[in-house]
Amino acid sequence: MTDVAAGVLALGVALFLGVYLVSVLDRFVSDLVAGHGLTANVFWAGPRRAVLLLLQQPSRTERPDAEAWAFAPALLGALGALGLATIPLAPELPLADNADGIVLFGAAMALVMVAVFLHGWSANSVFPLIGAYRFVALALSYEMPLALVLISAALPAESLSVGEIIRSQTDVWNVIRQPLGLPIYMVTVAGLAFWGPLRLPDAADLSGGTRAEVSGPALAAWEVGRSMVLVAAAAMGAAAFLGGWLGPWLPGVVWMGLKTLVLLVLIVWSGHHLARVRTERFVVVAWVVLIPLALIDVFLSGWLALAAR
């Protein structure tokens, strides 16, 4: 019972710190692009905006599905928490590191499509609905390469447990023995959390897309949920490809945090330096380029795993 309580506490702290770091990184990179440099404002801009949203009056549309509209942000945040729960932050902090942890993570991330579509459909408005359908097309394109590269990461460990995948990288990280895996994973993560060049369901050309009609606490909850999914996806990237808690001198949880932070920086940076792509262009690239490369990654990883026996 003590281990479970410690794991739940660690999960809550990790989610809180992760969401806060995403807000800090987003503001910091935005200020750098604008030429402002580092200021103290980056550390409190996120919490200040959250407080202002909590005090803001919620918006309403004509005949929305009110229950589903309120449920969508909660579902998105819950899926992010579930995805992070499958990842051991340290050897002594396995909350839900079961034998099929990477499958549970994949299932949680696949259901993000349900939360986003529900968010856009339930508002009963044109732009949110278009954003919802955009994400359906996006999700069907990124889920296959995402699943394939995660399977490739599991092959050397001969296990679907995230903890075993981390331990299998004691001698060499997967990013080295599977060089295609992490780049493909990072592209799919941008689509999964609809961040940066793949922020298509909530894009500016749709006046905010699925969040076009949302304000106040509901908007704050939606942004927090999206950040939670991003944190979970970055943590899985650190575990599956960068050795997770493995590293010299520092405690394992610190190494896990630093590796996750590196991936978060790359994703947030892409949101301010790369142009948003067109939906149909990403779909074509995903099916013509990403999926074949992910299959090559699976075949090479399987061959290497057999040769190592």
Q: Kindly tell me if the per-residue pLDDT of 1 is higher than 60.
A: no
Give the separation between CA 224 and CA 280, rounded to whole angstroms: 28
Mean pLDDT of 222-247: 89
Q: Kindly tell me if the per-residue pLDDT of 98 is higher than 50.
A: yes
pLDDT of residue 191: 85
Percent of the chain past pLDDT 90, that is, above it, reads: 12
Percent of the chain past pLDDT 70, that is, above it, reads: 93
Q: How big is the chain, counted in residues?
A: 309
∠ at Cα 247 (151, 88), nearest 5°? 50
pLDDT bracket for residue 161 (50, 70, 90)? confident
pLDDT digits (tens, 9 = 90+) for 258-279: 999 999 988 888 877 877 888 8
pLDDT of residue 184: 92
pLDDT of residue 118: 92
Burial of 52 (0-12, 13-18, 19+ CB in 10 A): exposed
Q: How does DSSP assign 170-194, residue by residue?
A: SSS-HHHH-TTHHHHHHHHHHHHTT
Nearest by Cα to 228 from 96, 67, 108, 89: 108
Give the separation between CA 90 and CA 7, rounded to whole angstroms: 10
Nearest by Cα to 82 from 65, 96, 68: 96
Q: Who has greater pLDDT, 240 or 8?
A: 240
pLDDT of residue 308: 67
pLDDT of residue 43: 77
pTM of the model: 0.89
Q: Kindly tell me if the per-residue pLDDT of 306 is higher than 80.
A: no
Q: Which two tokens stand for residue 248?
A: 């010299």
Measured CA distances, 5 to 9, 10, 85, 87, 254 (Å): 6, 8, 13, 16, 20
Q: Kindly tell me if the per-residue pLDDT of 96 is higher than 70.
A: no
pLDDT bracket for residue 231 (50, 70, 90)? very high
| Residue 176 identity (one-letter amino acid) | I
Give the separation between CA 130 and CA 137, rounded to whole angstroms: 11
Give the separation between CA 69 and CA 122, rounded to whole angstroms: 5
Give the separation between CA 309 and CA 307, rounded to whole angstroms: 6
Q: Kindly tell me if the per-residue pLDDT of 250 is higher than 80.
A: yes
Q: Kindly tell me if the per-residue pLDDT of 17 is higher than 80.
A: yes
| Averaged confidence pLDDT in the chain | 84
Which residue shows structure tokens 């278009």?
130
| Residue 126 identity (one-letter amino acid) | V
pLDDT of residue 49: 79
Q: Which two tokens stand for residue 25?
A: 């990184």
pLDDT of residue 6: 66
* C-beta neighbour count of 176 within 10 angstroms: 12
Q: Which two tokens stand for residue 10?
A: 């660690």
Mean pLDDT of 19-33: 83
pLDDT of residue 9: 77
Contacts of 193 (CB under 8 A, 6+ apart): 226, 227, 229, 230, 233, 267
| Residue 183 identity (one-letter amino acid) | P
pLDDT digits (tens, 9 = 90+) for 165-197: 888 888 888 888 888 889 999 988 888 888 878
Lowest-confidence range among 27-41, 145-159, 281-295? 27-41
Give the separation between CA 217 and CA 98, rounded to whole angstroms: 35
Q: Which two tokens stand for residue 267?
A: 């994703």
Give the separation between CA 45 and CA 30, rounded to whole angstroms: 12
Mean pLDDT of 217-222: 87
